[in-house]
Structure 1
Amino acid sequence: MGSVSTRNEPLRLVDPPRRPQDPGEPFPWSATIDSTYSTRDAIDALALAPFLRGDQPFARQAHLDRARPDAALRPAGSRIVRAVADDDSSALLAAGDGWSLRAVRWGGGSATVEVTASTDELAIAVLAEATEGAAQPRDADATVEMGFWHMDVRRPARRRRQITAPVWPEIRGNYAADVAAGLDRLMGLAVTEVRGRLVLLHGEPGTGKTTALRALARAWAPWCQVDCVVDPEELFSNPGYLMEVAAGADGDDEDSRWRLLVLEDCDELIRGEAKEAAGQKLSRLLNLTDGMLGQGRKVLIAITTNEDLSRLHPAVVRPGRCLAQLEVGRLSATEARDWLARQNHTGAGSFTDGATLAELVAHRDGDIHIQSTTDHTPDVGMYL
């Protein structure tokens, strides 16, 4: 018996044929379960079984950005084979005559429904019945779809969620005049005006860099999909992960839309004195922007960092690489006073040196500190 498997692979081949296999023949396989697998992994494996065997060789899938909480996500009268739920998600495996269905709900409200069936017509019909009326109406003007990439136990994974996204003119007053002017140009950028591939927002914490990126996702929604990479260090340490993200969610390089990958707080990655290991990650990042890896792909990268521009690696800020390079700084004392006045709030006297957006919001709403501190003066001779 021959096999190829590792401890962490959910599927392995057994008894491979001694002759070239007809693509129409059932796929020989077995499931390998160990302590790294969850009950939902078992549902995933069971859902694949009829497709791999060839009993149900047709598959159809639908994704719902916001599924109604009371939607069954399966046809009426179907039989539930397996079901699992936790605090963040749930999954079920249902079956009927000639078909199987796997439905997964995510904590953010989205859901995926996948059907395998003996015929394509049956798969389409079952999927339509399972998802009919399941989508929850939403205010399309208040949210935007964003993808979230992370490295799962075995493979890269991307989850889609609807996030609230402000309209840029409504939050423009949260930024200093020079910053707002630069963001005006960035928000209004047309797809034909894309030159560099890197959007760099730097400045101290609390100045509104992330909020600006959410507004950018909404402003660019007609021509650009925004994805956030939650583990950028892992992304540039793992070539397989990087290739998956560079290719897109479904490997759809032919998609006419651009993609913006958001990497937040990447100080270690782009700092000028990066160590050798970080230097390799930086090289991969730059290769994605204008190297071989980025060729033919409509991929932009947005990086936020708290570092001062002078501390960033010169390769990051070289001419021609950045589409936008903005220092998102503090509002001046006058701008802080005007901001509070627009909020019907007074008392900007404490911000004589200006203020960050976070400081102004805390001042407006009443900053609450829950803390316990004791003033200890260490005795001479104590270990410090």
Structure 2
Amino acid sequence: MGRMSAAQPHDALPIRLNLDDSDSPLDVVDALFLGRFATGAQPYSHSSSIDRVRPGVTLLPAAATVLRTARDDDDSRVLAEGDGWTVHVSRWNRGADVTVTAVTAELAETILKEATDNAADEPEPQPENVTMGFWYVSPRRGPHRTTRQIAAGTWDEVRANYTAPVADAMDRLMKVTPDDISGRLLLLHGPPGTGKTSALRTLARSWRDWCQVDCVLDPERLFNDVGYLMDIAIGEDEGTAKGRWRLLLLEDCDELIRGEAKHTAGQALSRLLNLTDGLLGQGRNVLVGVTTNEDLERLHPAVVRPGRCLARIEVGPLTREESAGWLGTEEGVGREGATLAELYALRRGSTPPSIPDQHPPTAGLYL
């Protein structure tokens, strides 16, 4: 009896395209592109992502014949083909994803290189700027990282924005090198408007020679989506030198690290701690920076235990004397001092935010 041939993968995958009023021309172009790969006519695929595309670059090989184009306010798609290959270009703002399918792996690689060669536009960073990464989950592309140039002053320039005990602690943190790392968690806590985010921008500049700083824009999703967490923790960032440290910033994570965290938040907290000193973090040069408005006493004991934190700094308001020195006058400064946000408001001539009076006025004031 002759040996039966194994079923081909595409035989088990009927290709059917259903459209309704929720679909757009962009979705149609995406679906059409997958056809030749799914059927096996072009079984090889190569892709590349570009954060900033040079103006005027089409991302199409010279011999490309355009089959479809679609555009809306934020995104565009181009589907084109050549002899034995198909290219799909997805563009958003200044960035783009380029994917090529072809009859051979070598052809797919060659066409992709032709489409993307010299396409990236990377302006020379200015001395006062630092490159920061931003992670988020895109509905179309899944976990995605983009980069931006962020203005950040030197520590000497911004040191006066912090009260003396905080400035002293920050002095030590700004000088940290890889050899000094003993804990993987960096915790900044304190009231809103005290400059926690500003301090992290300056830290990114101080550490830029050895550490890439990435901000996670959706931290509440990160630790509840294992695939997203693995992409960030395990996946190598393109262009990042091997052995270079990464600092992941999670801002305003009050619920995540609060002592009375609910069950779902507790699971997320366990994954956070596993990233800092558990199996997930083993062999990875990853630090995690967390900011919160919670008091230290309300934080989960596992977060603040000795040995886990590289630094644990309470960022509070400046004293009245420090505030007057910063502002150049005592006018408008309360007896308890002022936060950095309040000082900037006073400098602009506007009324800073205030805490409502805890003692209600007498009845006569209502009449």
Tell me which interval the TM-score lies in, with the shorter structure as reference length. 0.7 to 0.9
Q: Secondary structure at the match of 1:126?
A: helix
Taking the aligned partners of 2:16 and 2:210, their CA distance within structure 1 comes to 42
Is the 8 Å Cα contact of residues 110 and 161 (structure 1) preserved in structure 2?
no
Task: Return closer, same or farther for 1:59/1:240 CA change in 2, 3 Å cut-off.
Answer: closer
Task: Return closer, same or farther for 1:126/1:239 CA change in 2, 3 Å cut-off.
Answer: closer
Q: Does 1:61 align with 2:61?
A: no
Residue of structure 1 in register with 2:224 after alignment = 237
Taking the aligned partners of 2:78 and 2:135, their CA distance within structure 1 comes to 23
Unaligned runs of 5+ in 1: 1-17, 341-345, 370-384
Residue of structure 1 in register with 2:364 after alignment = none
Q: Secondary structure at the match of 2:52?
A: coil
Q: Secondary structure at the match of 2:303?
A: coil
Unaligned runs of 5+ in 2: 353-367
Q: Does 1:323 align with 2:310?
A: yes
Alignment of 1:1-384 (within 5 A): 20=6, 28=13, 30=15, 33=18, 39-76=25-62, 78-107=64-93, 109-141=94-126, 142-150=129-137, 152-153=138-139, 156-169=142-155, 170-248=157-235, 255-340=242-327, 346-352=328-334, 353-367=336-350
Q: Secondary structure at the match of 2:191?
A: coil
Q: State the 1:313 CA deviation.
A: 1.1
Q: Secondary structure at the match of 2:271?
A: helix
Q: Secondary structure at the match of 1:296?
A: coil
More off after superposition, 72-81 vs 36-45: 36-45
Taking the aligned partners of 2:186 and 2:316, their CA distance within structure 1 comes to 16
Task: Return closer, same or farther for 1:339/1:29 CA change in 2, 3 Å cut-off.
Answer: farther
Q: State the 1:55 CA deviation.
A: 3.6
Is the 8 Å Cα contact of residues 253 and 297 (structure 1) preserved in structure 2?
no
TM-score (norm 1): 0.76
Q: State the 1:148 CA deviation.
A: 1.1
Q: State the 1:307 CA deviation.
A: 0.7
TM-score (norm 2): 0.80
Q: How many residues align?
A: 346
Is the 8 Å Cα contact of residues 50 and 120 (structure 2) preserved in structure 1?
yes
More off after superposition, 131-140 vs 159-168: 131-140
Q: Secondary structure at the match of 2:66?
A: strand
Task: Return closer, same or farther for 1:54/1:202 CA change in 2, 3 Å cut-off.
Answer: same
Q: Secondary structure at the match of 1:316?
A: helix
RMSD of aligned Cα (Å)? 3.5
Taking the aligned partners of 1:222 and 1:26, their CA distance within structure 2 comes to 52
The share of aligned pairs that are identical, in percent, is 51
Q: Secondary structure at the match of 1:325?
A: strand
Taking the aligned partners of 2:110 and 2:261, their CA distance within structure 1 comes to 55
